[in-house]
């Protein structure tokens, strides 16, 4: 048997073992993997907001509100404001029967007020509007309700208008007052004209307490910041109604003169039931509108985007939302879970925007590309 020797082991040449091919880099390797969340995307920022952090183009002021408002005069404006404060309850509200009853009861209890600033926003003719307001007040068709301590400028909440017929309906429909007191109070309202203050001596003690409980008058001591001059008091008897005949027999020059402090202490201001709740809700609506605008870095937003923020990420009745809902997919939260319905009781977006515009908190301008824009001042 022959021994076969080769030079392979001596030469140092070794055969390389076959190695596995190196995996090719994926084009998506640089992107982090995220797990899809099937719950409510409440913490995710809407994609529509990302493109509006920069200031919007401004080509001039917008008259969108005054041009689209279906009003021609002050009376129509008051009715429009009174009826358009809230939206109707949606079909799928996401609220139980108790909460729905609370919402409807609060809406029904609010007085039919309209702020003067709101009326100016709708008509956009300051001099003509003020002249018409004065004429309607003198004619007895509307009354101006001044609430001391709530601000006297445009941003204040204390200058409101109400239709005279609505005021009388509230008085006649009150269960806290007897019919003789109702008739006397309505007669006094017609006699005091444009004044919003009444001397306390006009009513007896029982009448005063009844009107105070019903919410149609408030004492001047309730307003720590309110001021009243003697000249603003109406020309009514200063004594109780039981002694009115004796007071009339005394000459005017011989009647005792009250000091300013005594006049303020004996003065009552006109009011309407639940006016405080109305003003509080109005203030919350204005503040929420400003807070939504400040979500943008520039403090501006297109009108459509601002409305979406106001409504919240709610489901709609659009075809693609209906199809998703039928498949059991997420289409948005129910309206009852949003701030619009939890705290503002379904306040209308346009109504709140008109209030904020009238108060000088925001302004509208034309962008020329994405429709009207709204800017926080």
Total length of the chain? 377
> What pLDDT does residue 268 have?
82
Query: Considering the domain boundaries, does residue 27 fall inside one?
Result: no
Distance (Å) of CA 165 to CA 139, 186, 212, 230, 279: 13, 11, 21, 29, 21
Pair 283, 136 in one domain: yes
State the Cα–Cα distance between residues 278 and 126, nearest whole angstrom.
Answer: 25
Pair 280, 265 in one domain: no
Pair 137, 280 in one domain: yes
State the Cα–Cα distance between residues 366 and 169, nearest whole angstrom.
Answer: 42
Query: Considering the domain boundaries, does residue 325 fall inside one?
Result: yes
Q: How many CB atoms lie within 10 A of CB 93?
A: 16
pLDDT tens, residue by residue, 242-261: 333 344 444 434 444 444 44
Listed residue (361, 273, 272, 285) closest to 85, CA to CA: 285
Pair 234, 288 in one domain: no
Listed residue (76, 160, 77) closest to 121, CA to CA: 77
Pair 206, 285 in one domain: no
Pair 369, 301 in one domain: yes
pLDDT tens, residue by residue, 153-197: 545 567 899 999 999 999 999 998 999 999 999 999 888 877 778
Query: Considering the domain boundaries, does residue 43 fall inside one?
Result: no
State the Cα–Cα distance between residues 81 and 354, nearest whole angstrom.
Answer: 10
Query: Considering the domain boundaries, does residue 94 fall inside one?
Result: yes
pLDDT of 103 over the 80 cut: yes
Query: Considering the domain boundaries, does residue 37 fall inside one?
Result: no
Query: Residue 81 belongs to what domain range?
Result: 48-141+276-377
3-state DSSP assignment of residue 218: strand
3-state DSSP assignment of residue 298: coil
> What pLDDT does residue 43 have?
39
Query: Considering the domain boundaries, does residue 280 fall inside one?
Result: yes
Pair 233, 289 in one domain: no
pLDDT tens, residue by residue, 286-322: 999 999 999 988 899 999 999 999 988 776 666 655 6
Number of folded domains that form the chain: 2
Pair 95, 184 in one domain: no
pLDDT of 45 over the 90 cut: no
**At 9, is the pLDDT very low, low, confident or very high (cuts 50, 70, 90)?**
low
Query: Considering the domain boundaries, does residue 137 fall inside one?
Result: yes
Pair 228, 281 in one domain: no
Which residues, other chains included, contact 93 with Cβ-Cβ below 8 Å and sequence gap of 6+? 100, 334, 335, 336, 341
Pair 266, 305 in one domain: no
> What pLDDT does residue 232 have?
37
Pair 349, 372 in one domain: yes
Query: Considering the domain boundaries, does residue 156 fall inside one?
Result: no
Pair 240, 307 in one domain: no
């Amino acid at each position: 048997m022959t021994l076969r020797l080769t030079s392979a082991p001596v030469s140092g040449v070794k055969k390389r073992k076959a190695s596995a091919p190196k995996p090719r880099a994926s084009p998506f390797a640089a992107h982090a993997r995220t797990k899809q969340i099937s719950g409510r995307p409440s913490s995710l920022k809407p994609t529509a907001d990302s493109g509006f952090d920069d200031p919007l183009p401004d080509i001039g002021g917008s008259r969108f509100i005054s041009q689209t408002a279906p009003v021609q005069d002050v009376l129509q404006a008051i009715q429009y404001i009174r009826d358009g404060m809230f939206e109707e309850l949606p079909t799928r509200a996401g609220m139980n029967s108790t909460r729905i009853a609370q919402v409807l009861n609060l809406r029904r209890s609010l007085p039919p007020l309209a702020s003067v600033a709101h009326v100016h926003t709708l008509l956009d003719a300051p001099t003509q509007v003020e002249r018409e307001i004065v004429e309607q007040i003198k004619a007895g068709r509307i009354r101006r309700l001044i609430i001391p301590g709530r601000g006297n400028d445009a941003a204040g909440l204390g200058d409101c208008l109400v239709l005279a017929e609505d005021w009388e309906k509230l008085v006649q429909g009150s269960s806290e007052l007897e019919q003789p007191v109702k008739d006397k109070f309505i007669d006094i309202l017609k006699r005091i004209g444009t004044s919003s203050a009444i001397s306390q001596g006009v009513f007896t003690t029982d009448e005063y307490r009844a009107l105070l409980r019903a919410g149609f008058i408030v004492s001047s001591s309730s307003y720590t910041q309110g001021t009243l001059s003697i000249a603003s008091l109406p020309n009514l008897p200063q004594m109780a109604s039981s002694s009115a005949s004796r007071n009339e027999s005394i000459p005017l020059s011989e009647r005792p003169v009250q000091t300013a402090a005594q006049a303020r202490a004996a003065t009552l201001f006109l009011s309407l039931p639940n006016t405080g709740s109305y003003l509080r809700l109005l203030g919350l609506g204005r503040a929420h509108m400003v807070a939504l605008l400040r979500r943008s870095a520039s403090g501006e937003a297109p009108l459509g985007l601002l409305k979406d923020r106001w409504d919240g990420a709610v489901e709609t009745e659009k075809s693609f939302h209906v199809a998703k809902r039928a498949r059991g997919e997420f289409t948005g939260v129910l309206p009852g879970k949003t701030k619009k319905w939890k705290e503002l009781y379904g306040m209308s977006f346009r109504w709140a925007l008109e209030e904020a515009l009238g108060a000088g908190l925001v302004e509208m301008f034309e962008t020329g590309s994405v429709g009207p824009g709204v800017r926080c001042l």
